[in-house]
Structure 1
Amino acid sequence: MSDVGAGTGKVVVNRAMSLDGFIAGPGDAMDWIAEHVPADAFQDVMVATGAMLVGRNTYEVGKRMAHQDGSYDGGAQFVLTHTPPDEPDPNVTFLTCGLEEAVATARGAAGGKNLEILGADLASQCLQRGLVDEILVYVVPVLLGDGVRFSPPGLDRIDLEPFSNTQSGPITVLRFRVRK
């Protein structure tokens, strides 16, 4: 299922989502994901990923998560932020540039593999500007009722082309191409 072919990786919005459309629960809770999705569940995605571009809030939430131990194995990590932290993280490059430059920088570091985009606001901005090639969603069998939605309000219509849906244990994996 790897997307890496001729050495030109794609920009992929990658996220787990509850059946009712939330990527995080109230208070940015994401423990429900680990309850349903083992860390090594989708190795093909990790192999295809060369770098990750994350929004600052998602980075902070990830730092608080128990399984986040700095040993991410999906390539270089970049965080797009207005204000880098006072204490640098040796495993992360903080970018304060514009969105297009951040995507280009992280994509260059991906070495021909995919660039993963994480974070609702960041992904929404990338989608609005036509910077995303694919969306990969792991639908988790849980209803959260509230939290952070898949996309924030105000996102204009984006047409998608489904190209894969599979079942992996209790998780439904959906893949879409972004129509440009």
Structure 2
Amino acid sequence: MGKVSAGATMSLDGYIAGPEESGFDLLFQWYGNGEVEIPSASPDVPPIRLSAASAELIKSEWENTGALLVGRYLYDMTNAWGGRHPMNVTTVVLTHQRPVDRPEDDENFVFVTEGIEAAVAKAKELAGDKNVGVNGGQMARQCLEAGLLDAVGIELVPILLGGGKKLFDELAATPVEFDGPITVVEGTGVTHLRYRVNK
């Protein structure tokens, strides 16, 4: 069975979004500063173009991901990525209430209302032997607090946002220790760091 891994692009001062959901243009410059194109399965999200070092890591991780877990906030904010996540895998959405325009689950989106444990279990079922990717700070925090998170990936970019949202905002139990970094990859405009959760 695969691992459950959360990840985020982060500024040097520790923010995954700036004040009032700003700064994404700066945070994600590395998505378009290279020569290697990675296609997108989303009709609303163009392919990304990464440096060779970044592309090698990201391609491998995408190929080994069998399902994603996101919260309703990210699902709504991205307008459901136009109907399919760019990574081309089924996305489990943890929500209090399923969207009215999605009365049934399909190969693109599965909605879970029973809490983080049920959402992770469903994502693992869908992923099979592959990994589950957790996207969004609130989902990452809930997984970590529930003891369900195996790894964390940080894409560290050389900017300062001065405030905003952190990956593990309002974490209930601290400190939390990680092993690593077990992987360090220097891309163009980004350093990729991978850690294991010390359980």
Is TM-score (shorter-chain normalized) higher than 0.5?
yes
1:82 pairs with one of 86, 90, 96 = 96
Q: Is the Cα contact below 8 Å between 1:52 and 1:74 reproduced in 2?
A: no
Deviations 1:25-55 (A, max 9, x none): 2222333333232335421211111100001
Question: Are 1:59 and 2:75 an aligned pair?
Answer: yes
2:178 pairs with one of 154, 160, 180 = 160
TM-score scaled by length of structure 1: 0.86
Structure 1 residue ranges, 4+ long, deviating more than 3 angstroms after superposition: none
Distance change in 2, residues 1:154/1:134 (3 Å): closer
Please report the RMSD computed on the Cα atoms of aligned residues, expressed in angstroms.
1.9
Q: Secondary structure at the match of 2:28?
A: helix
Q: Is the Cα contact below 8 Å between 1:49 and 1:74 reproduced in 2?
A: no
Deviations 1:110-141 (A, max 9, x none): 12111001111111111011101100110012
Equivalent position amino acid for 2:70 in 1? V
Equivalent position amino acid for 2:195 in 1? F
TM-score scaled by length of structure 2: 0.78
Q: Which runs of 5+ in 2 are unaligned?
A: 33-47, 51-57
Partner of residue 198, structure 2: 179
Identity between Structure 1 and Structure 2 (%): 35
Q: Secondary structure at the match of 2:20?
A: helix
Distance change in 2, residues 1:12/1:74 (3 Å): farther
Shift of 1:144: 1.1
Equivalent position amino acid for 2:13 in 1? D
Q: Is the Cα contact below 8 Å between 1:13 and 1:116 reproduced in 2?
A: yes
The aligned length equals 170
How many Å separate the matches in 2 of 1:155 and 1:74?
33
Q: Secondary structure at the match of 2:163?
A: coil
How many Å separate the matches in 2 of 1:154 and 1:14?
16
For residues 1-180 of structure 1, the aligned pairs below 5 Å read: 8-29=1-22, 30-38=24-32, 39=48, 41=50, 42-63=58-79, 68-69=81-82, 70-88=84-102, 91-156=108-173, 157-162=175-180, 163-180=182-199
Q: Is the Cα contact below 8 Å between 2:30 and 2:188 reproduced in 1?
A: no
How many Å separate the matches in 2 of 1:178 and 1:74?
26
Q: Which runs of 5+ in 1 are unaligned?
A: 1-7
How many Å separate the matches in 1 of 2:70 and 2:87?
15
